[in-house]
Structure 1
Amino acid sequence: MQPKIIVLDDDPTGSQTVHSCLMLTRWDVDTLRVGLADASPLFFVLTNTRAMDAEQAAAVTWEVCHNLKEALQGFDRLVLYVSRSDSTLRGHYPVETDVMARVLGPFDAHFLIPAFFEGGRFTVRGIHYVRVGDKAVPAHETEFAKDSVFGYQHSYLPAYVEEKTHGRIRADEVVHFPLEEIRAGATYDKLMALNDNACCVVDAERQEDLNMFADEVLSAVEHGKRFLFRSAASWLTALTRLPPQPVPAERMGQYVKPGRAGIVVVGSHVKKTTEQLKRLLREPGIVPVEVDVELLPERSESLLAQVVEKVRQIHAAGDTPVVYTSRTERQFPDTATRLRFGEQVSAFLMSVVHALPPTIGYIVSKGGITSNDMLSKGLQLAAARIVGQILPGCSVVLTPPDHPHLPDMPVVIFPGNVGDEDALATVYNRLRTST
């Protein structure tokens, strides 16, 4: 029997390669049992820890894992645990995997598998690359490595591990699974020899590499090995081997109720998002609504009233408002201040969502943290089902039919760092085909 795959996702974008499964925004024991009982081979628990400091992330991860142990009592299937995080190496590693190992372990090994092919992220000879245009750039040379919270200096994953663990795990102790071994199908014995939570890094240049490695991993698990994974989304594709999604990407507009325009909410500040936003604003039927974050939090109330009224007027005219935060990057004295301000901005955007007209046809949520808050706070969902991807790396979920405000409505979970310049405009045009 296929193992049940439980994914602790530090934002809601890890579902970007799978479909027909649940995303849970709560992790009480009863809600976790809903995920375990669901027919899909996997489910996600959205922890949103990438928006937290390390101490908060550890506390939330511990709570999820503790409740999982209780929910799993009497569960008679093999279980695989995945700590899903960013394909550009940002996130609370090793904080989250350390907690998972303490509570859910012991494990024979944990694996770093950050490849995400739909987003142009791959690993060769232990070096993790990000495709920028037509160039493959080592991850430490990209803007993501300069992140003020999760910055790093190494693309060579063993060195990245040593850097992030502050030397607790040395680079020369990390076990490397190179492409040559994976493509030769020669990893089983090496997997079976792992013990004592060995740290491993995995090469992957294309999806077939991970598919082959997953076969060997699943065989080792069936023979008693216990593994933990820190991965991006493409590893989930390899583990689950789902059939094609029910509705093709180009026909996702059929989920939108006829004649209903939607709304686009943009919180992400990465360069790629800004480029996509500029392109979207040139589309017909699009009306910009900029939120000046310099006015937050002091003038939140008056600013909210202005934004809500603009959105109402634009929607009443049959157009699509694009609510986006001002693009200037603020400087902060420390990480805690930056995270706190991010929470204030996201809370403002969710207040806009709370005031949306009930005739809104769809929501496009741009940015990982924005999307997590969209599902858990803006729409107040305990669970939502992923129906598939509208673009590679961009999932669509449906609100439940009994949602009190916006039932049966598609919500696009659009990561900040995914897609080409036209991607946001493409999503808009695919959804508005029903209007």
Structure 2
Amino acid sequence: MVLESDLLSRFPAEVPVPAAMVAQRVTDTGRVLVVLDDDPTGTQSVSNLPVLTRWDVEDFRWAYAHRIDGQRANAIYVLTNTRSLDPAEASERNRDVVSNALAAASQSGVAVGFVSRSDSTLRGHYPLEPNTIAATLLANGAGHNGAGHVDGVVIVPAFPDAGRVTIGGVHYTRAGGGALVPVGETEFAKDATFGYTSSRLDSYVEEKSQGRFAAADVIVVDLFLLRTGTPAEAAVAIANALEAAQDSRPIVVDAVTENDLRVLALGLDEAERRGKSFIYRVGPPFVRARIGQEIRDELDTTEIFPDAGPAAVPATGGLIVVGSHVGVTTRQLAALSEQHRSAKTVEINVEELLAAQGGSHLDDVVAQVGAALAEGDVIVHTSRLLIKTDDAAASLEIARTVSAAVVQVVNRTLKATPPRFVIAKGGITSSDVAAHGLEIRHAIVRGPMLPGIVSLWEPVGGPAAGIPYIVFAGNVGDDQSLADVTRKLSSTF
């Protein structure tokens, strides 16, 4: 553990960069970023952008043509949910998404770039996903300016809003009191499916690529490069540093503030104008900075329910669905249960679910939820004992079974007793609830429920239209965050 202030004392102060400076350059290029989000929580840092949970060509045509406040979006999120898939399935899904995005872009006359959005604590299918995107671009001859190649994979896991920062090439999570813990020493690094040991990003690349890329071959863009001179001077320096990138060479980046990410955006833009082609493998706030979007204030109740009134807002309670098992989620669930005494709590017992009688157990859960929604809010959570094995594939299959049960509960509830709102806690949980539980195909992410974290989606069409959907990552927020978000939405809290 180390103090953040001690680490930062070695580096220059951040360089202020107006979001508008980046936005103007993005507008000049006319490019749309297609963000392959391996779970839906990547939207928590952005606002007013389309989200797709299906990726047929016509879905991309809708997204490219859709206008928000009269403007085409500079980025589109595609909910791939690949963190819940095995490697072969994840690769196939990435390939399908990129191929269809390119086909629709050609038909729509839109230039596109690609972002592989993943976890700020380094869990996910790396390097498989950026490798698959690069191979698909090569097969389609669709790299930068049609070159059909990728020079570099830009790796930026930093998520300062959630306490994840990269300093001196080492990725940390904030632990309170100004202290930082290398992410390789946290519970996230012990993930049953995506575990790792290295906190240094160049070493992480070597570990995960199984030596294909040695740590010494990774290009490092550190805070000295990002924070020296004016924004324009830093952009040129970054572009110069990236000249050596070719053949999908990994590029890891320091970032502690939004200004660091905006300077990086200017440098990447300069490098791409020189002809370089990149795929981005990033945490949530990168896209916001890369397209020059201002940091949106958290939504308030009047924005969530703009036409609130007796006839406008359902009389039923809201549905809070908790699937994540990380420590912070369990503490948040405990705090919500303690404070929201009027809410009914219904547990999906995982041991019963995995047993032969799981079907009858779900029938009972659905009946309890429907009855309780007529009176107020309902908290549905999986039992807190995490059942897993030493086999990554078997652990993933258990997670899928549990998620399918959560989806069934939400979908059957939606059809019988539409709730006032839905909160889904956990990455895989929120993905499956969106795409299958609520049957959302297209949505607009409206903004954050808490500063920089926890996004609200507005479903476009389908059975969930008009129901605010809150995507809440398992590993963000403090112990009170789930209660704080529920309080904004609830009529009985």
Global fold match (TM > 0.5): yes
Decide which moves more: 131-140 or 351-360: 351-360
The answer for the alignment partner of 1:276 in structure 2 is 332
Task: Call closer, same or farther: CA 1:75–1:176 in 2, change over 3 Å.
Answer: farther
Tell me by how many angstroms 1:301 deviates: 1.6
Specify the alignment match of 1:254 in structure 2: 305
8 A contact 2:46–2:295 mirrored in 1: no
Equivalent residues of 1:266, 1:365 under 8 A apart = yes
1:22 is matched with 50
Quote the residue 2:135 is aligned against: 102
Distance 1:245 1:238 in 2: 12
Structure-2 residue corresponding to 1:267: 323
The answer to whether the aligner puts 1:419 opposite 2:477 as a matched pair is yes
Aligned counterparts of 1:97 and 1:359: Cα–Cα separation in 2: 39
Distance 1:248 1:333, change over 3 A: closer
Q: Secondary structure at the match of 1:88?
A: coil
Partner of 2:358: 300
Q: Select between 391-400 and 350-359 the one with higher mean Cα deviation.
A: 350-359
Conserved? CA contact 1:270–1:417, under 8 Å: yes
Q: C-alpha distance in 2, partners of 1:336/1:433?
A: 42
Mapped pair 1:361 → 2:404: no
Per-residue deviation at 1:247? 7.3
Aligned-partner Cα distance in 2 for 1:236–1:417: 19
| Distance (Å, rounded) in 2 between the aligned partners of 1:154 and 1:427 | 34
Aligned mates of 1:246, 1:125 — CA distance in 2: 30
SS at match of 1:236: helix
SS of match in other structure, 1:386: strand
Does the CA-based 8 Å contact 1:18-1:236 persist in structure 2? Answer: yes
Could you say which residue in structure 1 is the equivalent of 2:198? Answer: 154
Secondary structure at the residue paired with 2:194?
Answer: coil
Alpha-carbon contact 1:130-1:136 (below 8 Å) kept: yes
- 1:68 CA displacement: 2.3
The SS at the match of 1:230 is strand
Partner of 2:407: 350
CA distance in structure 2 between the partners assigned to 1:272 and 1:53 by the alignment: 26
In structure 2, C-alpha distance between the alignment counterparts of 1:247 and 1:146, rounded to whole Å: 32
What percent of counterpart residues are identical? 37
**Structure 2 gaps, min length 5:** 1-27, 67-71, 139-148, 229-233
Write the distance in 2 (CA, Å) between the matches of 1:270 and 1:244: 27
Matched, 1:116 2:159: yes
Please give the secondary structure, in 2, of the residue aligned with 1:395: strand
Which residue number corresponds to residue 11 of structure 1?
Answer: 39
Match of residue 242 from structure 2: 191
Asked if residue 324 in structure 1 is aligned to residue 381 in structure 2, the reply is yes
2:45 aligned counterpart, secondary structure? coil
- Equivalent of 1:220 in 271, 275, 281: 271
2: CA distance, partners of 1:321 / 1:252: 23
Within 1, Cα distance between the matches of 2:294 and 2:175? 30
Q: Measure, in 1, the Cα distance between the counterparts of 2:271 and 2:137.
A: 18
- Give the deviation of 1:309 after TM superposition: 1.5
- Give the Cα separation in 2 of the matches to 1:163 and 1:328: 30
Greater shift, 44-53 or 193-202, is seen at: 193-202
Q: Distance in 1 between matches of 2:119 and 2:182?
A: 15
- Secondary structure of the residue that 1:92 maps to in structure 2? coil
User: In structure 1, what is the equivalent of residue 458 of structure 2?
Assistant: 398
Match of 1:207 among 255, 258, 278: 258
Judging changes above 3 Å, is the alpha-carbon distance between structure 1 residues 25 and 359 closer, same or farther for their aligned structure 2 residues?
closer
CA contact (8 A) 1:109 1:195 kept: yes
2:95 maps to what in 1?
A: 62
Q: CA deviation at 1:426?
A: 0.2
Q: In 2, are the aligned partners of 1:251 and 1:430 still within 8 Å (CA)? A: no
Aligned to 1:130: 173
In the alignment, the residues of structure 2 paired with residue 351 and residue 157 of structure 1 have an alpha-carbon distance, to the nearest angstrom, of: 39
Give 1:72 deviation, angstroms.
2.3
**Contact kept? 2:373, 2:417, Cα under 8 Å:** no
Contact 1:252-1:390 within 8 A present in 2 as well: no
- 8 Å CA contact retained: 2:342, 2:492: no
Name the SS for the 1:417 alignment partner. Answer: coil
Change (3 A) 1:139 1:246: closer
Match of 1:81 among 100, 114, 119: 114
TM-superposition CA deviations, 1:382-425 (whole Å, max 9, x none) = 1111111111310001123x423x32110000000010000000
Q: CA RMSD in A?
A: 1.8
User: How far apart, in 2, do the equivalents of 1:353 and 1:229 lie?
Assistant: 34
- Asked if the contact 1:253–1:432 (Cα under 8 Å) also holds between the matched residues in 2, the reply is no
Matched to 2:480, the amino acid is D
Question: How far does residue 433 in structure 1 lie from its aligned partner after superposition?
Answer: 5.0
C-alpha contact (below 8 Å) 1:260/1:434 kept by paired residues: no
Aligned to 2:440: 381
User: What are the Cα deviations for residues 140-170 of structure 1, in whole angstroms up to 9, with x where unaligned?
Assistant: 0000000010000000000000000000000
Amino acid at match of 1:360: P
The residue type equivalent to 1:126 in the other structure is G
Q: Report the Cα distance in structure 1 between the residues aligned to 2:294 and 2:255, rounded to whole angstroms.
A: 22
Match of 1:407 in 2: 465
* Distance apart, 1:252 and its partner CA: 4.7
Q: Flag the 1:215–1:358 CA change in 2: closer, same or farther, 3 A.
A: same
**What secondary structure, in the 3-state scheme, does the structure 2 residue paired with 1:4 have?**
strand
Distance 2:85 2:94 in 1: 11
- Amino acid aligned to 2:79: L
The Cα shift of 1:66 comes to: 2.1
* Partner secondary structure for residue 386 of structure 2: coil
Task: Give the equivalent residue in structure 2 for 1:240.
Answer: 291
One-letter identity of the residue aligned with 1:301 = G
The structure 2 residue matched to 1:169, chosen from 213, 233, 246, is: 213
Cα deviation per residue 1:258-279 (whole Å; 9 max; x = unaligned)?
A: 3442010001010110000000
Per-residue CA deviations over 1:302-341 (Å, capped at 9, x if unaligned) read 1112111111221122x21100000012132512211111
Preserved CA contact (<8 Å) 1:13 1:395: yes
Mapped partners of 1:161, 1:171: distance in 2:
7
Corresponding position of 2:82:
49
- The Cα offsets for residues 120-142 of structure 1, whole Å up to 9 and x where unpaired, read as 00100100001123331100000
Deviates more, 1:77-86 or 1:243-252: 243-252
Select between 166-175 and 197-206 the one with higher mean Cα deviation: 197-206
**Do the aligned residues in 2 keep the contact of 1:252 with 1:431 (CA within 8 Å)?**
no
